[in-house]
Amino acid sequence: MRSVNFKNDRGSTMVEFIILGVLLQALVLTAGLGLIAMQHKQLAAEAMARHALRSLLLHRVPMAVTADDLAQQFRISESYQLQLECSDTCTTPGDIAVLKVSIGQVSAEASMVVPQ
C-alpha cells in the first residue's frame, strides 16, 4: 500500500474542481427550480383571473367556482385571493370590471367590459 504524502498537492486540483462543480450545479439547480415555481404560479394567476372574470360576466358562474377548478388543474396548493373592482356595479353594460388574483408573491389582473 502506498503512503499518502499530505505535503504534496498533486491531484488536489481535480478534487477541488469536482467539489466546486457539484456545488455550483446544486446552486444553479436550486435557483432554477425556484424560478420555475414562480413562473408556474404566475401563469396560474393569469389564467385564473382571465377565466374567472369571463365566466362571471358572460355566464354568471361565481368566480370562486372557476378559480377553484383552475387551481386544481394547475395543482396550486397555496391559498389565493380574488379581488373584483368595477367602475360602477358590474351589472351595467359598458362598465369595466377588473379582477386581481394573488397567489403568494405573484399577482395578475384581467379586465373586461361588462357585456349587454
pLDDT (tens digit per residue) in 60-103: 999 999 999 999 999 999 999 999 998 877 888 889 999 999 99
- Partner residues linked to 106 by β-bridges: 103
Q: Give 99: exposed, middle or buried? Use CB within 10 Å, 0-12, 13-18, 19+.
A: buried
Q: Which residues does 114 contact at the CB level (< 8 Å), separation at least 6?
A: 57, 86, 90, 91, 92, 93, 94, 95, 96, 97
Going by C-beta distance under 8 Å and a sequence separation of 6 or more, which residues neighbour residue 71?
Answer: 44, 48, 80
Tens-digit pLDDT profile for residues 2-55: 666 667 766 677 788 888 889 999 999 999 999 999 999 999 999 999 999 999
Q: How far apart are CA 62 and CA 52, in angstroms?
A: 8
pTM, entire model: 0.78
Q: Which three cell numbers stand for residue 41?
A: 404560479
* Enclosing H/E stretch for 32: helix 12-59
